[in-house]
C-alpha cells in the first residue's frame, strides 16, 4: 500500500524532485541544498519577541476551544479554515517568503493542525510520510512551528534524514512506514519556541511520546503546495491562497474566515 487513496496510487507523482533555486530570496543556497539533501531545513526563527508572546498567549487561551472545534467537525478540521487568527498565522509574511523559495510564487495552504502533547505519555512514535496522506503530487512543504520549546524530553519530532529521496514507500494499513530503520537512523529535531522547521512531505518522521513530567508540547503544523499542482479528492476543502494566484483555477481557495 502506498497512499490513503489507492485509486490515486498510479495517478500521483510520489517521487522527490529537488528544489531548483540558485537565487533564493529568503533562505541561503546552503539551506536549499540542505532541504534537497536531508529533506528538511534546520529550524529558523519565524516568530520572535512580542509576536511570539502573542502567539503563545493566543494558543494558551484558545486551546480548549480549538480542540473542541476539531472534535465537533467530524473529528478534524484544518483550523486555519475557520479561525481568522490561524488563517493569518499560516499566511504570515516571513513564513510565506521562505516558502516561495521552495514552492514558487503561488502558495496554497491546504491543511493545518495544532497538536499539544500532554506530559506523561508512554505511547506514540510511528514513522510516516505526509505525502501518503495527501491527495496531491509529492511537492508539498510542511512547516512545523514550535509554540513552546520542543525537545527530546517533551516529544519533539524525530526525522530520518535523507529518507525523502526514495519517494513514497510501502506502508501498513495505518499508513506507517514498514521497517523504517532500513531507511536510516532517526534523529530528534529539537525546535525552540517561535522557530519553524521546513520539511519535505516525503521525509519520514515520527512523533514520540512526551515523557516529561510536567511540560506540554504545543506545535502547529501547516502543509503548503504550489497552486499549479493538481488537487484530487477532497484536498481543496480547506485550501487558502497565501500568495500569488490560483493560475489554472484548480484550488478555488477559500476566503479569510469571519470570527464566529
Ligand X SMILES: O=C(O)CCC(=O)C(=O)O
Which residue in the block uniquely carries the three cell numbers 481543496? 236
Among 221, 225, 241, 243, contact with ligand X (rule: CB under 6 A): 221
Q: How far is the CB of 218 from ligand X (least distance, A)?
A: 9
If DSSP codes are grouped into helix, strand and coil, which group holds residue 144?
Answer: strand
Triad 91, 57, 190: Cα angle to 5°: 70
Burial of 134 (0-12, 13-18, 19+ CB in 10 A): buried
Q: Does 219 bind ligand X (CB under 6 A)?
A: yes
| Assigned C-alpha cell, 152 | 527530546
Rounded to whole angstroms, the Cα distance separating 226 from 91 reads 14
Among 81, 98, 205, 215, contact with ligand X (rule: CB under 6 A): 205
Q: Does 141 bind ligand X (CB under 6 A)?
A: no
Q: How far is the CB of 190 from ligand X (least distance, A)?
A: 13
Q: How far is the CB of 16 from ligand X (least distance, A)?
A: 17
Among 38, 207, 236, 241, contact with ligand X (rule: CB under 6 A): 207
Among 32, 157, 160, 189, contact with ligand X (rule: CB under 6 A): 157
If DSSP codes are grouped into helix, strand and coil, which group holds residue 186?
Answer: coil
Is the CB of 104 or the CB of 155 nearer to ligand X? 155
3-state helix, strand, coil in the chain (%, to 5): 25, 20, 50
Q: Does 130 bind ligand X (CB under 6 A)?
A: yes
Contact positions vs ligand X (CB under 6 A)? 115, 130, 157, 205, 207, 219, 221
Amino acid at each position: 500500500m502506498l497512499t490513503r487513496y489507492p485509486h490515486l496510487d498510479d495517478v500521483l507523482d510520489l517521487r522527490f524532485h529537488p528544489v531548483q533555486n540558485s537565487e533564493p530570496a529568503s533562505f541561503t543556497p546552503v539551506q536549499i541544498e540542505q532541504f534537497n539533501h536531508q529533506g528538511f531545513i534546520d529550524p529558523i526563527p519565524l516568530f520572535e519577541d512580542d509576536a511570539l508572546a502573542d502567539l503563545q498567549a493566543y494558543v494558551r487561551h484558545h486551546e480548549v476551544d480549538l480542540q473542541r472545534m476539531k472534535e465537533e467537525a467530524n473529528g478534524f478540521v484544518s483550523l486555519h479554515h475557520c479561525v481568522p487568527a490561524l488563517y493569518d498565522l499560516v499566511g504570515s509574511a516571513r513564513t510565506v517568503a521562505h516558502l516561495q523559495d521552495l514552492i514558487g510564487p503561488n502558495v496554497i495552504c491546504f491543511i493545518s493542525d495544532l497538536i499539544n502533547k500532554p506530559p506523561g505519555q508512554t505511547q506514540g512514535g510511528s514513522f510516516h510520510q505526509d505525502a501518503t496522506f495527501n491527495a496531491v503530487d509529492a511537492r508539498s512543504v510542511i512547516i512545523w512551528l514550535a509554540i513552546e520549546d520542543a525537545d527530546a524530553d517533551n516529544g519533539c519530532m524525530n526525522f530520518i534524514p535523507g529518507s525523502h529521496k526514495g519517494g513514497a514507500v510501502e506502508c501498513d494499513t495505518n499508513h506507517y512506514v514498514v521497517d523504517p530503520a532500513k531507511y536510516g537512523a532517526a534523529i530528534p529535531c529539537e525546535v525552540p519556541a517561535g522557530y519553524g522547521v521546513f520539511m519535505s512531505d516525503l521525509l519520514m518522521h515520527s512523533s514520540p511520546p512526551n515523557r516529561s513530567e510536567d511540560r506540554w508540547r504545543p506545535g502547529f503544523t501547516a502543509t503548503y503546495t504550489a497552486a499549479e499542482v493538481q488537487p484530487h479528492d477532497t484536498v481543496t476543502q480547506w485550501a487558502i491562497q497565501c500568495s500569488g494566484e490560483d493560475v489554472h483555477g484548480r484550488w478555488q481557495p477559500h476566503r479569510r474566515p469571519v470570527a464566529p
